[in-house]
Copies of this chain bind each other. A is one copy, B any other.
Amino acid sequence: MPETTDSHEGEFRIEHPHRELLDQVLDKWSLSVLNELCERPCRFNDLRRAIPEVTQKSLTATLRRLERNGIVERSLLSSRPVAVEYRITPLGKTMRPPVEVLLEWVAAHMPEVERARRAFDDDGDDDGA
């Protein structure tokens, strides 16, 4: 074993560039956008309609960020009137399994987390008994 000391199983350790990528692909609207794009290519306004809570500005920012990271691809379909289509890339599709695993963890443990939150919040409530 030429590899050193840390043979202990994978950890929670993360370095900065990885952290940054994680923040960009898991940011507030990314998963909702990918959820649409993994079903079909979408026009900009298709996405707005599919995700009504997102503003134009945030949707644009999200798409640019995902495009820059190679997760989605933007194609100009015609120039007059402007028509643009967004598609998930092969790289983007590789995100599905890990994201699903994560989402399954969240769904599975949400009840336990909510119990913990209630316990914590109640303990904090020392309203002068």
Residues of A within 8 A of B (CB): 6, 8-14, 17-19, 21-22, 26, 28, 31-32, 34-35, 38-39, 67-70, 91, 94-107, 109-110, 112-113, 115-117, 119-121
Counted per complex, copies of this chain come to 2
Nearest CB in chain B to that of A68: its residue: B120
Contacting A12 at CB < 8 Å: which of B18, B35, B101? Answer: B35
Task: Report how far A64 CA is from B88 CA in the complex, Å.
Answer: 37
B96–A109 CB distance below 8 A: no
Cβ-closest chain B residue relative to A93: B11
Q: How far is the CA of A107 from the CA of B98 in the complex (A)?
A: 12
* 10 closest Cβ pairs, A-B complex: A70-B116, A12-B35, A10-B100, A98-B105, A12-B34, A68-B120, A12-B31, A98-B101, A13-B35, A18-B106
